[in-house]
Copies of this chain bind each other. A is one copy, B any other.
Amino acid sequence: MAISKRVKKEQERKRRFILDAAKRLFVLEGFENVSMRRIAAEADYSPAAIYRYFRNKREILSHLRNEGFIKFGLRREQRSDSLPPAELLRQTGRSFLQFAMDNPDDFHLMFCTSCNEVDLEGELAAESLRSYERFRDMVGKVVASGYFGDVDDETVAFGLWAGVQGLASLVTSGRAKVFSESEVDELIERVLRFLRRPGGGGE
């Protein structure tokens, strides 16, 4: 038992090693520009060895993205859904920004990776889909509350999505590492102000 456990841990450690090597390269050079050979070299393995741990190159990316979304999901688990909409948005925004700053590489893979390179189906896409559902749910609630004024879900969703992309570009450029807590809060307030229509209801 103890032995098998240690073996499994060792196995997991090696998977991690490969995943980390791949993550570094993917972020630095882009999925298409990274070959299995280079991942193998970066992880000090033979190319063939990688295939003991992952079915193929796409699966490595899928794993990395899935891990990112799981990591992200854990942070938000404790959030109470009963908060007033503005507070819900603030809290979500805060955790989102914090996550981006703490995990710029995960963030990059989660939000900068184009659809061509990503498996949108299968077990490993599940967490990203769930994440998207949560996001749409939240948008729906806040819009329903009238907080943003007379506006449809989709507009808000796209506005926030654009914000995510903008943020992603800052994170990728290395700029977003330096936001202090108060800067984060201010940024969120600005985003809220940005999205609210004149006639939007109070909190």
Taking beta carbons and an 8 Å cutoff, which residues of A are in contact with B?
A: 29-30, 32-33, 114, 116-117, 158, 161-170, 173, 175, 190-191, 193-195
Contacts and interface: CB of A to CB of B under 8 A. Distances in A.
B114 A30 contact: yes
Given A30-B32, A162-B170, 18 more contacts: A30-B116, A30-B117, A32-B33, A33-B116, A158-B173, A158-B175, A161-B173, A164-B166, A165-B168, A165-B169, A166-B166, A166-B169, A190-B193, A190-B194, A190-B195, A191-B194, A193-B194, A194-B194
A35 to B, nearest CB: 12
A17 to B, nearest CB: 23
Nearest to A196: B190
12 contacts: A32-B33, A158-B175, A161-B166, A161-B169, A161-B173, A162-B169, A163-B166, A165-B165, A165-B168, A165-B169, A166-B169, A191-B194
Nearest to A173: B158
Q: Label chain A's interface by main secondary structure.
A: helix
Contacts of A162: 166-167, 169-170
Contacts of A158: 170, 173, 175
Contacts of A29: 116
Contact of A193 (B30, B175, B193): B193
Contacts of A193: 190, 193-194
Contacts of A163: 166
Closest 5 CB pairs of A and B: A162-B166, A32-B32, A166-B166, A165-B169, A194-B194
A3 B136 CA distance: 61
A165 B175 CA distance: 14
Contacts of A190: 193-195
